Amino acid sequence: MSQLSSSLAVHDMVPENNSEDYGPIKGTLSTGRIAMIWLAANLVVTTLLTGTLFVPGVSWQLSLSLITIGTVIGAIVLVLIGNMGTRTGLSTMSLTKGAFGLRGAFFTTTANVVILMGWCWVQAILAGVTVNFLVEQFTGFSNPILFSVLCQTLVVGLAILGHEGISKVEPWLAIIILLIMIYIFSVAFTTYSVTEFTQLKVDSKLGWNATLVFDVVIATAISWTVLSAEFNRLAKSQKAGIVGSSIGYITSTVLSMSLGATAIAYVALQGAEVNSFDPITIVSAFGIPLAVVIFLSVMATNTMVVYGMISSVVNMTPSKKIKFLPTALILGVISIIGSSWLAMLDQFTSFLTLVGTLFVPVFAIMIVDYYIIKKASYHHDILLGHGGRYWYQGGFNLAALVIWALGVVLSLWLTYSVDSLLGVTIPTFAFAFFTYLSWMLLSKKQVKNKEQSSHLAS
């Protein structure tokens, strides 16, 4: 365990050490350490509370099945994008330059910062509401906005100043969270039998069905894929990155979402009012241990999210004008101000829809471009600020940008205008994947032979 507690997770991703300098990173982390990064990252309150959305809209047992299947399918995209980071040493948004162009990637980076900022706000608010609930129970004082802002201020401080301290305790935080999860599962299943959970009455009026649950689970994987290359470029080998991220992401997501579905089912079996995506509902049922899980998970995960935002902006261009500290301070202040917007919690499912809408076609295009069109190898020209083979037309690959836009339109149409039996995510991914592949092949853009070693730090 001492090996796990030494310079893991955030320290291995310190912006000052790794990402302030523009360019690729040569990874050194083992399979176990990559797995722990992903385990710590996704043992988080938002994933847990996502599970509370499903029950009793669909049955408890169906929810668990869809959570498992959807997580595995979503992890395929996450691992493929992450492996691009391992092979090249580049962050996720830096990799979009290969498909979208050196300037076209500014659009994907902007979208990424918006998404990560949204995650910051949601998680800080959830932590703040939970802390406020406990404080109110003991003192009578209540100010959820204050506590949300304080929680995010602490996160920003840790992201800027506290990397080494967090790196030493984060594996232990993950273990503590896992132990508390085991306790909560034990309380649930010693109070009610598995049969009672499976016989919980489904409330179809809540508007959930198997297709919608499946889409939301995959959208959760897509939301984490924006950081997958950031994390996996730290792996010492493709095997370490692929196996580590697969184990860490799938394990943490299935556990967290299943805990959420089980916790809300427990509340329903008690006859209490069921409020999905509300930490107070389940904290009231399970007490301080669950509140501890929520708070610790936000501290660990939001620090990584802040890192991801900084990395995305700093790696947009080789210009030395974009520095770590000013970028961190600007983004940090915005994240703190936004954490006071408590109404954001009411928009969470819309937020997940936005994530899928924006990034499902992006990742489909990236996978085609890297693994098929460019034969799993990007040239050093991707590190340029101007010119080279990724300049395309004035810095933009119009094919990728047009198909991305069409993919967004298709996703919105399927979400709001059509009752699709296949959901939204899979059709949108398939459309972007095959349309971009066809366009590039018909345009004879596929490279004939790999021209260099895969890793750009070599």
**Number of domains the chain is built from:** 1
Nearest alpha carbon to residue 198 among 284, 260, 269, 270: 269
Question: How far apart (Å, rounded) are the C-alpha atoms in residues 303 and 318?
Answer: 24
* Domain annotation covers residue 308: yes
> What is the rounded CA–CA span in Å between residue 76 and residue 215?
15
Which residues form the domain of 162?
Answer: 9-347
Which amino acid makes up residue 385?
G
Tens-place pLDDT, residues 235-285: 999 999 999 999 999 999 999 999 999 999 999 999 888 887 888 888 888
Residue-level pLDDT at 116: 87
What was the pLDDT predicted at 170?
60
Cα 249 to Cα 36: distance, rounded to the nearest angstrom = 9
Helices (H), 315-394: 324-338, 348-367
- Residue 21, pLDDT > 60, answer no
Specify if 124 maps to a domain: yes
Q: Is residue 420 part of a domain?
A: no
Chain segment 403-451, per-residue pLDDT in tens: 999 999 999 999 888 887 888 999 999 999 999 999 999 998 888 766 5
pLDDT of residue 286: 86
Give just the sign of the alpha carbon dihedral 98, 104, 109, 111.
negative
| Domain membership flag for residue 22 | yes
- pLDDT, residue 422, reads 83
334 CB-contact burial (10 Å; exposed 0-12 / middle 13-18 / buried 19+): middle
What pLDDT shows up at residue 169? 59
Query: Is-contact 305 116, C-beta < 8 A?
Result: yes
- Residue 307 above 80 pLDDT? no
The answer to whether 184 and 255 have CB atoms below 8 angstroms apart is no
Q: Are 93 and 112 in contact (CB under 8 A)?
A: yes
For residues 216 and 53, is the Cβ–Cβ distance under 8 A? yes
Which backbone phi and psi does 29 adopt, to 5 degrees? -85, 145
Q: Please give the pLDDT value at position 15.
A: 40
Tokens 């098929």 found at? 372
Residue 167 maps to a domain: yes
Confidence of residue 75 (pLDDT cuts 50, 70, 90): very high
**Strand blocks (E) in 58-184:** none
111, part of any domain: yes
- Structural domain contains residue 273: yes
**pLDDT value of residue 322:** 73
282: alpha, beta or left? (left if phi > 0; alpha if psi -120 to 50): alpha
Position 201, amino acid:
K
Look up residue 200 and give its DSSP letter.
Answer: P
What are 204-227's pLDDT values in tens digits?
A: 888 899 999 999 999 889 988 988
> What CATH number did the domain enclosing 268 receive?
1.10.4160.10
- How does residue 7 score in pLDDT terms, banded at 50, 70 and 90? very low
Q: Is residue 19 very low, low, confident or very high in pLDDT (cuts 50, 70, 90)?
A: very low
Within 10 A of 310 (CB to CB), how many other CB atoms are there? 27
pLDDT at residue number 359: 93
Question: Is 121 a member of any domain?
Answer: yes
pLDDT band at 128 (very low <50, low <70, confident <90, very high): very high
